[in-house]
Structure 1
Amino acid sequence: MVHLSFASLEFAGEEFALTASNALYWPRESALLVADLHLEKASFYARHGQMLPPYDSRETLDRLALAIRETGARRVFTLGDNFHDSAGADRLEPYAAGMLAALTRAVDWVWITGNHDHELHDHQTGDGSGGELAEELEIAGLILRHEAKKGEKQPELSGHFHPRLQLRVRDRSIRRPCAVRSESRMILPAFGALTGGMNAADPAILKAMQPANAIDAVVPARGRIATFPLWRAA
């Protein structure tokens, strides 16, 4: 059982905890999973003429450090789009670079690459102190990758879509990052400080979750998981 003050949820026969910061903790593996950090997104846009405050990487890494401390995780798996582009690691300012180096030394760290950073190389994330690179991993029978793979028969954890739950409650529009879960697939919310989101009920997300009998959006709410049906098989 999870003995943390986080929202516990079951997936593929395993118990996880979904944190308010949009990280997924896997107690049995002492592992923290985060998707879509998009580090150095602001500096990418600045290079193309759209000036944004250049502190998104600091904020993202601060929240990640807090999630590691709160969960006691000894391993971190990032599910792709770690940097907003393949040159992002070279643009980290010294403070953020130091934060990242300290984190990757403190825990076992694996960067799973995504479509934004598929050209990352070992020298860009450091040597042994900077973590390892992988296109995908299998841990305890679960596949960890950036984007859900069509036809995958094993349980799968992924990111890529930045799902957000969109609701209207008492004439108010509510949008919150969420995970999307079926019996055998789960898409994590984006973790990065400067990431947008896609409606969790968008046809592209529902298609990526197939085959499924039921698809739900799940969000942590006061230490519990709130579940919102998105799709049911006819």
Structure 2
Amino acid sequence: MALGLRLEKTQRSPGLVLAGESLTLDLCGGIWLSAHRTLIVSDLHLEKGSAYAARTSQFLPPYDTRETLACLHEAVARHDPACVVALGDSFHDARGPERMEPGDRAMVAALQEGRDWVWIAGNHDAAVAEGVGGRYADVLRLGGLTLRHEPISGPAPGEIAGHLHPCGKVAMRGRAVRRRCFVGDDTRLVMPAFGAYAGGLNVRDRAFEPLFPNGFTAHLLGDGRVFSIGRTMLAKD
């Protein structure tokens, strides 16, 4: 594979088949299920900046929610989904909705208008009170797929999860690139974090080993292209 550490601009998004369902890995970090007209995103971590300002001495510019919602708006405009599934940790904490600026809250309402919207409970926002529109669920089953926030231990055919914020690192000729990525095998898939301040965990970390005992492919989000790379070509941090 010739990355050249320069992720050239093309307009390709790889398609996968999982549990008999066709998935398109969108460059935004979401999954498009055309047969179900459903867009899946994970780990938005809205209001992370305001959470840090309220609880710690670390100040983060309070624009993460707006940036994340702007990226989500682009994906929704591109696909026009009938349903959007936010796969957990949509808010950085349970009080995140209370801290949202009126303009950001209005943007969420506009994104939800005319479509089904499902908030999957995550470990950060399991206790979020209703009041930001949409409906709430712990797990959602869609065709052959099971959508949840945290991947379960052991085999899980058809599982799509988030939580781990996977990133892949490729090193060549003394240089390296590190990008958010999808990671999966023939049976399950873990999504990248969508949020502007979400961060990421290297897919070579031990946390991924129990999920993919027979290896995996990482699908790195490049500049205009999603690159599919096998485990052996990925570097540790």
Calculate the TM-score normalised by the size of structure 1: 0.88
Runs ≥4 residues deviating over 6 A: none
The separation in 2 between residues aligned to 1:188 and 1:11, in whole angstroms, is 15
Corresponding residue SS for 1:7: coil
Q: Percent identity?
A: 40
Report the Cα offset of residue 121 of structure 1. Answer: 2.5
- Provide the residue aligned with 1:227 in structure 2: 228
- The correspondence for 1:9, drawn from 12, 15, 39, is 15
Q: Which range is displaced more, 213-222 or 110-119?
A: 213-222
The separation in 2 between residues aligned to 1:60 and 1:50, in whole angstroms, is 20
Amino acid at match of 1:9: G
Instruction: From the superposition, tell whether residues 119 and 152 of structure 1 become closer, same or farther in structure 2 (CA, over 3 Å).
Output: farther
The separation in 2 between residues aligned to 1:145 and 1:79, in whole angstroms, is 6
- The correspondence for 1:105, drawn from 113, 121, 146, is 113
- Whether 1:217 and 2:224 are equivalent positions in the alignment is no
Amino acid at match of 1:201: R
Alignment map for 1:55-204 (pairs within 5 Å) = 55-122=63-130, 124-125=131-132, 130-204=133-207
Amino acid at match of 1:216: T
Amino acid at match of 1:206: E
Q: Which range is displaced more, 48-57 or 156-165?
A: 48-57
Amino acid at match of 1:114: G
RMSD, aligned CA: 1.7
1:33-60 deviation digits (Å, cap 9, x = unpaired): 0010000000000112222111110110
- Provide the residue aligned with 1:34 in structure 2: 41
Structure 1: gaps (5+ residues): none
Calculate the TM-score normalised by the size of structure 2: 0.87
Corresponding residue SS for 2:219: strand
Report the Cα offset of residue 219 of structure 1. Answer: 2.5
Report the Cα offset of residue 152 of structure 1. Answer: 4.5
The separation in 1 between residues aligned to 2:40 and 2:66, in whole angstroms, is 19
State the aligned residue count.
220
Q: Is the 8 A contact 1:11 1:184 kept in 2?
A: no
- Whether 1:43 and 2:50 are equivalent positions in the alignment is yes
Instruction: From the superposition, tell whether residues 161 and 94 of structure 1 become closer, same or farther in structure 2 (CA, over 3 Å).
Output: same
